[in-house]
Structure 1
Amino acid sequence: MDTRQLKTLVAITTYRTFSKAAEIVGLTPSAVSQQIQALESELNVKIFERASRPPSLTTEGRQVLELAKEILHLEENTIAGLRGRKMSGTIRLGTVRTSALNLLPQAVVAMHDKYPALKINLRVGFSSAMISDVASGRLDAAVVAEHVSLPPQLRWSPFLHEPLWIIAPETVTERDPIHLLGSYPFVRFATNVPLSNLIDTEISRLGVVTLDVAEIDTIGAIVTCVRQGLGISVVPHSAVQSPDADRVIKLPFGNPHITRRIGIVERINAPRGEVIERLHALLAELCGEYGVQRD
């Protein structure tokens, strides 16, 4: 098994045909087939179901593909490190959906502009899955909310400490937060993530019974619904930084004002530590007055 075979395998699964993969890796289609057959023979597994069009991965094939990606990722970053190019190679970054609204795309673009040899492979998911993938090495780091506990091999560094706001359509004249929460249609953030639990816990503590009109699992969609007049809701500060957010009113949520922290989770002594540190500094800068620099 060599990296040429693994790159060919990844190309096939990316471009979905042997012929297109052959163009990408600079081989003939027959040479691509020979590489995959040699890999199957060496590993004693069947990687592709060739009867289907396009060819589909078998169960064993999916396992080989994951292994191939891990090996190629390690090879790329090892070569970059040995050549002294710490800000090159590929970093695999995960993020929860709420922090992906505005901050992370800006940071990824800025990192690419500043370090063109560095590639950031971004994946969006739930925090528990992101943390597990960082611990196992499937991700180099992830942007997640503060957690009560983490595996001992991980550390979490906050870059954002932001307030939560009650948002309402600009036509609403009520300015008392408690009365607003209890008397207007409420768009609930309905998903099993720390932010949703934080909001629900504080509403319960305030003794408010909301008049739920909708349950939505993305913050961006909630802001849109509020802006269109469907009801009120509670969202983090980063969700109301777009130009369209000027069309909603904001009131402090909670007593005292509730805040949340977002940070980067990584393995202790992570091999891409310098890249992660610079990404953290950039994110903290983009957060403005709510940014938190690393200790």
Structure 2
Amino acid sequence: MMDTRQLRTLVAITTHGTFARAAEVVNLTPSAVSQQVQALEQELAVLLFERKSRPPKLTPQGMQVLEMAQGILRLEEDTKTSLRGDRIAGTLMLGSVRSSALNLLPKAIVQMRDSYPLLKTNLRVSLSATLIADVASGRLDAAIVAEHVAIPPTLRWSPYMREPLWLIAPESTDAADAAQLLARSPFIRFRSPVPLANLIDTEISRLGIATNDVAEMDTIGSIVTCVRQGMGVSVVPHVALQEPEDRRLLRLPFGQPQVTRKIGIVERIVSPRAEIIARLHAVLAQLCGEHGVARDSPTGDTGA
């Protein structure tokens, strides 16, 4: 009969690459690992690994069983920590968009780890739509996404940051009206299938400005570097300007009125990790300083 030992062995094989390495991790002999895999295959009536490949490769059915195994093991871990009353423990499966939302997240993860040494964090970076689907299905506990996405009714999105967008230019640029600077200067466009790029493009169109595009880039960090080197001007969110050398850049409010965006945490409305996610939200809001948003704050007051 299938048990969690077999599932842990399966996860260990896929994590460490070979039956032999997995055997060391789960404290079994390689032959015992093989026997567990064969027993699991017989019970489920599927082939988990392609035996001819080296290292062993999961079959499509094996991928499904692996996903099931990971879910069962995490549920087991959640239940044990909950019964012990030790909720700030276990593994938090977290996702994040690739944009500048990542600037503060590593700091928050480190702070959470320092405060709760029994808590482990597994971070995955992807696009908003993928992350939201993974939270809804339970593959992720929570994810960092922008507000301009469709959130299913089974999920809750709580902003922790409301930040302004800035038109940035090299430090040698003469100060000018932002719209005029956009119209007359070489422009580095943020081109990416994410809400931030659409937000910037929409405001430029609303202002009726025809930009002189000299480059298109899909990462905010690369754009800031190019502007710092004098290549042109661009539009970036406030959190992207955290390095000491960024203070020398000319920055002007982007949009009329200045455009802002919200970043928040999406989670399932009913979640065994609700307490941990709430504490992560508080840490992120505090790190955002004046741009932090308190949890469930309708007015967007500072959460710091």
TM category (shorter chain) comes to over 0.9
SS at match of 1:250: strand
Specify the alignment match of 1:72 in structure 2.
73
Specify the alignment match of 2:228 in structure 1.
227
Does the CA contact (< 8 Å) of 2:100 and 2:237 recur in 1? Answer: no
With normalisation by structure 2, the TM-score equals 0.94
Does 2:257 align with 1:260? no
Count of equivalent residues:
295
Does the CA contact (< 8 Å) of 1:101 and 1:220 recur in 2? Answer: no
Deviations 1:85-139 (A, max 9, x none): 1100111111111244311000000000000101111111111111111111111
Does the CA contact (< 8 Å) of 1:99 and 1:143 recur in 2? Answer: no
> 2: distance between equivalents of 1:165 and 1:38?
59
Deviation, 1:243, is 2.4
Specify the alignment match of 2:83 in structure 1.
82
Q: Which runs of 5 or more residues in structure 1 are unaligned?
A: none
Deviation, 1:188, is 0.7
Specify the alignment match of 2:33 in structure 1.
32
Written as runs of structure 1 = structure 2, the 5 A alignment for 1:113-262 is 113-147=114-148, 149-262=150-263
Specify the alignment match of 1:4 in structure 2.
5
With normalisation by structure 1, the TM-score equals 0.97
Deviation, 1:172, is 1.6
Q: Assess, with a 3 A threshold, how the Cα gap between structure 1 residues 234 and 22 changes in structure 2: closer, same or farther.
A: same
Deviation, 1:175, is 2.3
Query: 1:285 is aligned with what amino acid?
Result: Q
Q: Assess, with a 3 A threshold, how the Cα gap between structure 1 residues 148 and 31 changes in structure 2: closer, same or farther.
A: closer
Does the CA contact (< 8 Å) of 2:128 and 2:149 recur in 1? Answer: no
Percent identity of the aligned residues?
A: 66
SS at match of 2:82: helix
SS at match of 1:101: helix
> 2: distance between equivalents of 1:161 and 1:125?
21
Does the CA contact (< 8 Å) of 1:284 and 1:291 recur in 2? Answer: yes
Q: Assess, with a 3 A threshold, how the Cα gap between structure 1 residues 28 and 240 changes in structure 2: closer, same or farther.
A: same
Query: 1:81 is aligned with what amino acid?
Result: S
Deviation, 1:246, is 2.5
SS at match of 1:170: coil
> 2: distance between equivalents of 1:67 and 1:148?
28
Query: 1:165 is aligned with what amino acid?
Result: W
Specify the alignment match of 2:104 in structure 1.
103
Deviation, 1:23, is 1.0
Does 2:277 align with 1:276? yes
Query: 1:40 is aligned with what amino acid?
Result: E
Query: 2:176 is aligned with what amino acid?
Result: R
SS at match of 1:175: coil
SS at match of 2:240: helix
Does the CA contact (< 8 Å) of 1:145 and 1:262 recur in 2? Answer: yes
> 1: distance between equivalents of 2:142 and 2:159?
13
Does the CA contact (< 8 Å) of 1:101 and 1:238 recur in 2? Answer: no
